Structure 1
């Protein structure tokens, strides 16, 4: 079988490709994370329970969206599938005050952990299959980035200004 192109008219593909951001010819994961910033900003206006609910829903639908799109395209973990980046950034930004500095810090931290994949992220990336496998490394990168970001906010509260 040969590689199939995503169909942006298919809502599953459209979402998995981060509203089209994953179609970027270079660094689709970075563009997918950029597409996540407005989602974070909107959800950050909610009370914490609402933000957490939105994050859980994004994570819950992720394995289906990523797995179905990957299957339809006949490829495992196509770089343009960036719903996992959206979920990872949402985890990174849990309980983070909205400011340009926190947005930049969360964005950079998440991308660093997603790219370098420290243990056990790299192990999970290689050993977990399907839609969950596409998601799991970004979810854990989001946890790592969230821990570092919360430490930074505790150490330098001026980041929220």
Structure 2
């Protein structure tokens, strides 16, 4: 708790404390991100102007995340601490913005799909997770901050691909032969 309040980077990286949950900090951080998204989306509304603002929030959030995750990992002397959840917060914002689900049920499906990809780390997510791992004796640097963020970006992209395929199948836009 002392680390959380000792520097703005730690407060951000720990998702305002949600990452300090003793149980499933990634899931709690993602829930925190969903709640924040809902509040921000309520204020911004929909439309072109809101989309431009969201694009800005996500761009700045990525850069702030690189800084906060790197600084916090250095302070903890752990290359990818589980308590760092800004990557989950940022990724769920990206997903929910792009999916633009009209109600909580669609958002819940996106949340569950993202948590699957982030926690199970199948295929490309595992590759992304390993890409920037610290080598023995190597100091924690920007590569580890990028790694913290990057695997969640890949998990978000996998989530978006899965959801797009599900919508296409539901609407009959993908032939049965392609899926078999």
Could you say which structure has the larger radius of gyration?
Answer: 2
Instruction: Show structure 2 runs of 5+ residues with no match.
Output: 133-142, 172-180
Q: Aligned-pair distance for 1:49?
A: 1.9
CA-atom RMSD in angstroms: 1.9
| CA distance in structure 2 between the partners assigned to 1:95 and 1:54 by the alignment | 16
Q: Aligned-pair distance for 1:85?
A: 0.2
| CA distance in structure 2 between the partners assigned to 1:11 and 1:49 by the alignment | 26
Q: Normalising to structure 2: TM-score of the pair?
A: 0.77
| CA distance in structure 2 between the partners assigned to 1:7 and 1:78 by the alignment | 13
Q: How many aligned positions are there?
A: 153
Aligned to 2:11: 14
Q: Which secondary structure does the structure 1 equivalent of 2:156 belong to? A: helix
| CA distance in structure 1 between the partners assigned to 2:58 and 2:69 by the alignment | 16
Deviates more, 1:74-83 or 1:147-156: 147-156
Aligned to 1:143: 157
Q: Aligned-pair distance for 1:155?
A: 5.1
Q: Normalising to structure 1: TM-score of the pair?
A: 0.85
Aligned to 1:31: 28
Deviates more, 1:62-71 or 1:147-156: 147-156
| CA distance in structure 2 between the partners assigned to 1:154 and 1:9 by the alignment | 47
Match of 2:145 among 131, 143, 149: 131
| CA distance in structure 1 between the partners assigned to 2:24 and 2:72 by the alignment | 19
The reply to whether residue 116 of structure 1 matches residue 120 of structure 2 is yes
Q: Aligned-pair distance for 1:134?
A: 0.8
Instruction: Show structure 1 runs of 5+ residues with no match.
Output: none
| CA distance in structure 2 between the partners assigned to 1:64 and 1:81 by the alignment | 12
Q: Which secondary structure does the structure 2 equivalent of 1:120 belong to? A: helix
